Amino acid sequence: MTDAPDTVPPPPKTSWFLADKALAALAFAIAAFCLLPHVSVLIAALTSDTETLRHLAGSVLGTYSVNTLALVVIVGFFTFLIGTGAAWLVTMTDFPGRRVLEIALVVPLAFPAYVLAYAYTHVLDHPGVVQTLLRDVTGWGPRDYWFPEIRSLGGAAMMLTLVLYPYVYLLARAAFLGQSATTFLAARSLGKPPLYAFLTVSLPLARPAIAAGVLLAMMETIADFGTVSYFGVQTFATGIYNSWFSMADRGAAAQLSLGLLTFALLLAMLERSNRGRARFSNGKRQEVIARIPLQGAARYGAMILCGIPVVLGVIAPVVALSVMAVGSEQNLLSPRYVKFISNSLTLASVAAGVTVGVAILLGSFARLRGTRAAGTAQYVARIGYAVPGGVIAVGLMVPFAAFDNGLDALMRDTFGISTGLLFTGSIWLLVGAYMIRFLAAALGAYEGGIASVSRNIDAASRVLGQSSLGTIRRIHVPLLTPSLLTAALIVFVDVMKELPATLIMRPFNFDTLAVQAYRLASDERLNGAAVPSLLIGAIGLLPVILLCRQVARN
């Protein structure tokens, strides 16, 4: 007589059905919440008075458009050059220091552009170290020489390029590593030099990945507020903030947000179209391409070309900020700074947990259902990455402020009590804005992990009586722990760097390291701004180090 095998009775069909319905309801509710800022910006822009917008159109609207477009074009061009060139050099050639540089080229991703702006202003501005030394050595007066102006559109483009080129570098390097050795060797066997083979074979095959990286850098450029605001470059991002706070005109802020939203969604459509047209096949890489050993001047040229972005994007700013911080008289152990750090870590941790949880729900819903409605919900939820934080902030503040005011008026008239502001200015609404802004990054990490999980496992789980929620909890989450941890770290560091949404939506007297750095820099207290800036970069290094380890393993 044998013992009966231990079995877990399947859940009743009623509970199974309800669990699936609950998952669908949650997924569509999340998609609706992610769509809310876009719809509210559209409605507010179309229903608001256009007097302020007409005034802006006659004064600065053209400047906003030209500067925003110019930044996007310049940053896109130079991130393409730096990211693609560095990726090809460290992947296809061999030169001294290559192993160190292929990892170091990723590190600038840990720093927000406005942190570099503070450092380079201290070094290159008129009262800065370089120009002061130049005047002392030459005896020139302030008007006796010309020096590039760091606080300019070109300076802002430089700061953004130095922190955004890793998007292109990472995707291009992955594309080069995945290419078939036979295609490149065939071009070389025909007597073509390495550069010709790169331009005619490797580069066209990597085009979809490179284009995706450039478009990501462009979307981050239009979303930037801290750098352009500090450098005095008038863009749509600064116009939205000024309309909201300086002019107290939420209608104008919504109308400007609509213009920026249209541009951002156009870039998102280009990125999606680029992925849809990616029909090149890299083939099966049967053998590793032998790296081309560089000799003579070429080897040192490669070292310099790959080293310049690291020096300008990491080493020089960190050294400058460290020197500035020494004389800043900012006490990291004071209760005030402990509060800044605590607020930043709390927001980033909660937002990372919420965003990853939502990504699990939406990703699993789209995988298990596989319907057009499920795919649409997932697509709607991820377009927030193309939308600047300031636009999302305006899009959430307008409807929730109206709801809070309406509810308060109703309760006063009916019961004689005031409910105050339940959502506006709350941490949870700010976390919701972060979730909308960075959900695409978490979904990307989830999809990268779930792609390696066979659908037969899902089918077996359902046969054994598991509902959708049970499959997610018992199968998907345990298998995807590394990918989900990566997603959480990415969202964590992005929230640490996010500035415009935090400035607009943070609760009263709830400041973060990013807000403190921006406030001190706005008051021209750059030495003081160096301390929170260094802390932001130091915290951001954690996910970048993990990403570098992944690059090294590959």
Residue 502 structure tokens: 């935090």
Q: For residue range 123-167, what is the model confidence (pLDDT) as tens digits?
A: 888 888 888 888 888 888 777 778 888 999 999 999 999 999 988
Residues 503 and 515: beta-carbon distance below 8 Å? yes
4 CB-near residues (< 8 Å, 6+ apart): none
**CB-count burial class (<10 Å; 0-12, 13-18, 19+) for 288:** exposed
Residue the block writes with tokens 């840990």: 110
Q: What angle do CA 425, 428, 430 make, to 5 degrees?
A: 60
> Which range among 14-18, 55-59, 75-79, 156-160 shows the weakest confidence by mean pLDDT?
14-18
Question: Taking 90 as the threshold, does the pLDDT of residue 442 lie above it?
Answer: no
Distance CA 122, CA 133 (A): 13
The reported pTM is: 0.81
* Of the ranges 429-438, 456-465, 543-552, the best mean pLDDT one: 429-438
Strand 292-293 relative to strand 93-94: parallel, antiparallel, unpaired? parallel
Residues 181 and 216: beta-carbon distance below 8 Å? no
Distance CA 60, CA 56 (A): 5
Distance CA 232, CA 121 (A): 12
Integer-rounded Cα Rg, in Å, for the chain is: 26
Residue 99 structure tokens: 């192993």
Residue 293 structure tokens: 């050993």
Sign of CA dihedral 130, 132, 135, 136: negative
Q: Which of 335, 445, 434, 449 is nearest to 389 (CA)?
A: 434
- Which 8-state DSSP code applies to residue 417? -
> Which range among 24-28, 84-88, 184-188 shows the weakest confidence by mean pLDDT?
184-188
What phi-psi label fits residue 48: left (phi over 0), alpha (psi between -120 and 50 degrees) or beta? beta
Residues 173 and 179: beta-carbon distance below 8 Å? no
pLDDT of residue 380: 81
Distance CA 340, CA 224 (A): 22
* C-alpha to C-alpha distances, 439 to 33, 70, 158, 351, 527, nearest whole angstrom: 12, 28, 28, 10, 35
What phi-psi label fits residue 139: left (phi over 0), alpha (psi between -120 and 50 degrees) or beta? left
Chain centroid, CA 12 distance in Å: 44
Question: Taking 60 as the threshold, does the pLDDT of residue 88 lie above it?
Answer: yes
Query: Which of helix, strand or coil describes residue 93?
Result: strand
Question: Taking 60 as the threshold, does the pLDDT of residue 280 lie above it?
Answer: no
Spell out the alpha helix ranges (H) of 48-106.
Answer: 51-57, 61-92, 98-104
Residue 356 structure tokens: 């990853």
Q: For residue range 193-247, what is the model confidence (pLDDT) as tens digits?
A: 666 667 667 777 777 778 878 888 888 888 888 899 889 898 888 888 777 766 6
